[in-house]
Amino acid sequence: NAGVTQTPKFRVLKTGQSMTLLCAQDMNHEYMYWYRQDPGMGLRLIHYSVGEGTTAKGEVPDGYNVSRLKKQNFLLGLESAAPSQTSVYFCASSYGGLAYYEQYFGPGTRLTVT
């Protein structure tokens, strides 16, 4: 039982390049989330999904797209990377959407855009 895994762990992009971050969970969770972490700001929600085939915008969605084609996977895409997207990205999942369901976090992806 691996929990939540993220691929890749590190990536360096040039401005304007594109990439996809992959999140996978093996806990059969319905809900999945993408966050970014910047110094002094905690984590901020980018996009989330309440089930296979659904996605919704979070607090800071601009410049990102997501897809949830399979229940266990949640992909985060950057179509044209910008230096402002340099950050650490965390994926999380939860069994349900109510507040008392714990979110389980992956180990993170450190992205640098030059």
Partner 1 sequence: AQSVTQLDSHVSVSEGTPVLLRCNYSSSYSPSLFWYVQHPNKGLQLLLKYTSAATLVKGINGFEAEFKKSETSFHLTKPSAHMSDAAEYFCVVSDYPGEAAGNKLTFGGGTRVLVKP
53 forms part of the interface with partner 1 (CB under 8 A) = no
- Distance between CA atoms of residues 79 and 56, nearest Å: 18
Burial of 90 by CB count in 10 Å (0-12 exposed, 13-18 middle, 19+ buried)?
buried
Which of 88, 63, 60, 74 has the alpha carbon at shortest distance from 30? 74
43 forms part of the interface with partner 1 (CB under 8 A) = yes
Q: How many residues bind partner 1 (CB under 8 A)?
A: 28
74 forms part of the interface with partner 1 (CB under 8 A) = no
108 forms part of the interface with partner 1 (CB under 8 A) = yes
Contact residue for partner 1 among 2, 42, 62, 69 (CB under 8 A): 42
71 forms part of the interface with partner 1 (CB under 8 A) = no
Which of 24, 62, 58, 26 has the alpha carbon at shortest distance from 43? 58
102 forms part of the interface with partner 1 (CB under 8 A) = yes
Q: Which window, 14-22, 65-73, 74-82, 86-94, contacts partner 1 (CB under 8 A)?
A: 86-94
Applying CB under 8 A, the residues found at the interface with partner 1 are 4, 31, 33, 40-45, 48, 50, 56, 58, 90, 92, 94, 96-103, 105-108
